[in-house]
Amino acid sequence: MRIPKIVILGAGYGGLITAVRLQKQLGVNEAEVVLVNKNDYHYETTWLHEASAGTLHHDRVRYDITSVIDRHKVDFVQGTVMEINKEEKKVVLENGEINYDYLVVALGGEPETFGIKGLKEFAFGITNVNSSRQLREHIEYQFATYNIEEEKKDERLTIVVGGAGFTGIEFLGELGNRIPELCQEYDVDFNKVRVICVEAAPTVLPGFDPELVDYAVAVLEQKGVEFMIGTAIKECTPEGIIVSKGENETMEIKAETVVWAAGIRGNSVIEKSGFEAMRGRVKVQPDLRVPGFEDVFIIGDCSLVINEEINRPYPPTAQIAIQQGEVVAKNLTALVRGKAELENFVPDIKGTVCSLGEDDAIGVVYGKKLTGGKASIMKKVIDNRSLYLVGGAGLVLKKGKFNIL
Ligand code: FAD
Ligand code: NAD
């Protein structure tokens, strides 16, 4: 008898959790499980701001996928997904095709540039290992070049960060620690460096606890960050950015480094494959399947789940992607075993912690506000927990963060 074939696209938080749960829950004779990912490694997306600033080496944020999957139970295919043909139940890869009986789409997000001119061409993103490595190298190159040039270009030492959401703020926290190191290494006067955060909303971290926001702003200003609040990036050019404040006021900021950290959308494969989506995110059923396609589950940043209490989508987070992966693995196990009843996904939001560099953070955990060292320890506990859920204590020991005290 032919056994069903489950194909998981993406080995990020959602996809990898699905795979390791399935390898525990299903016997080899029950289903064929295939995991597809662009690279042969998984990276911790939630640590990329550190690799981008250069405070953590990029090899620390990634590990081999085959080190955490059981190859007798899960077949790993390295490949780039181009499109999903849901009518023919087929995935088109750059280097081939794969058929499926059940599909899990967990391809993560991409930067949302809102059609702003020049961003795609001239701004850096904090998106994956490659983009983080490129950004770190670019910043370091500006410092290395500054003193060599006869005519000093101060814009070499100007870094603009677009967006004061969690990604922007966490990156600024790391930069705040990295800049003094770079100044020392390359004999650059700290006072020549400018780090400017441009945020369109009237506040940093819109929607977050105002007391914690004030704490974060004070810490970052202390580290030299300038905030331009209520100011939107309108264009990015090879020389810097054009911003607007209010109706008519526009201004140019010259900067050799512009980092776009002002939002994400679902993976472009979603729209290319003809799924009905809002900014690349598919509104899934409570059991995480796609309406009209009972054999396709979508999780993580490609999925959209409404928070009924406020009638708005939950923000895309690793916390949600991991929990969705656990539910999908249970639901696939039920389907393979011929059960019709599936579990609904109910997010269990434990809190949010935002780092402000290696030893400082802000957060709300189980309704309790945290700042400083305590919040920073909590952040590392959360980081280690995601490793534990995938690879147990062994992976935590290999890749975990222990610089807690
Ligand atoms: P991802 O974990 O991003 O994984 C997607 C995978 O798909 C990757 O392995 C990628 O290589 C692969 N892939 C992509 N396209 C293709 C393709 N075409 N073909 C094959 N493979 C492909 N959330 C939190 O809850 N807490 C945090 O502290 C937190 N911090 C963050 C910090 C930063 C700097 C950033 C950028 C995000 C942070 N987030 C955080 C959000 C969180 O990282 C995402 O919501 C989460 O990674 C989404 O998980 P996912 O499984 O959908 O995708
Ligand atoms: P976001 O959408 O949360 O924040 C983007 C920010 O950019 C917003 O404050 C927005 O007002 C601003 N912005 C948009 N357009 C702009 C423009 N033209 N000019 C200036 N500012 C502009 O995006 P994010 O910070 O990348 O976060 C993405 C997701 O990842 C969120 O769901 C977030 O919760 C999650 N995340 C969580 C953590 C954490 O829990 N520690 C860390 C990073 C990211």
Look up the CATH number of the domain holding residue 258.
3.50.50.60
**Active-site position among 44, 50, 110, 170:** 170
The answer on 291 and 311 residing in a single domain is: yes
- Which of 230, 262, 294 terminates a domain? The answer is 262
Does the annotation count 170 as an active-site position? Answer: yes
The answer, yes or no, to whether ipTM is higher than 0.95 is yes
The answer on 126 and 252 residing in a single domain is: yes
Residue-number span of the structural domain to which 156 is assigned: 119-262
Residue 198 in domain: yes
Is 163's C-beta closer than 6 angstroms to any atom of ligand 2?
yes
Among 7, 21, 46, 83, residue to substitute to test ligand 1 (most atoms within 8 Å of Cβ): 46
Query: Which pLDDT score is estimated for 318?
Result: 98
The answer on 145 and 18 residing in a single domain is: no
**Ligand 1 atom nearest 300 alpha carbon:** 52
CATH of the domain at 83: 3.50.50.100
pLDDT in tens, 160-219: 999 999 999 999 999 999 999 999 999 999 999 999 999 999 999 999 999 999 999 999
The answer on 239 and 130 residing in a single domain is: yes
Q: Considering all CA atoms of the chain, what is the largest pairwise distance in Å, rounded to the nearest integer?
A: 75
* pTM as predicted: 0.97
How big is the chain by its Cα radius of gyration, in Å? 22
Residues 6+ apart with CB under 8 A from 228: 196, 197, 198, 199, 243, 245
Residue 220 in domain: yes
- Could you give the CA distance from residue 6 to residue 124 in angstroms, rounded to a whole number? 36
The answer on 343 and 254 residing in a single domain is: no
Structural domain total, the chain: 2
**Ligand 2 atom nearest 232 alpha carbon:** 19
Query: Which pLDDT score is estimated for 58?
Result: 97
Among 41, 45, 354, residue to substitute to test ligand 1 (most atoms within 8 Å of Cβ): 45
The answer on 29 and 91 residing in a single domain is: yes
The answer on 286 and 248 residing in a single domain is: no
Q: Are 357 and 371 in contact (CB under 8 A)?
A: no
- Could you give the CA distance from residue 130 to residue 185 in angstroms, rounded to a whole number? 24
Residue 368 in domain: no
Of residues 39 and 402, more confidence is placed in 39
Query: Which pLDDT score is estimated for 404?
Result: 63
Is it the case that residue 405 has pLDDT exceeding 60?
no
Query: Which pLDDT score is estimated for 350?
Result: 93
> Both tokens of residue 164?
């004061």
DSSP string, 200-255: SSSSSSTTS-HHHHHHHHHHHHHTTEEEEETEEEEEEETTEEEEEETTTEEEEEE-
Return the half-sphere exposure (C-beta side, CA atoms, 13 A cut-off) of residue 168: 30
The answer on 163 and 96 residing in a single domain is: no
Residue 95 in domain: yes
pLDDT in tens, 335-377: 999 998 999 999 999 999 999 999 999 999 999 999 999 999 9
pLDDT in tens, 228-268: 999 999 999 999 999 998 777 899 999 999 999 998 999 99
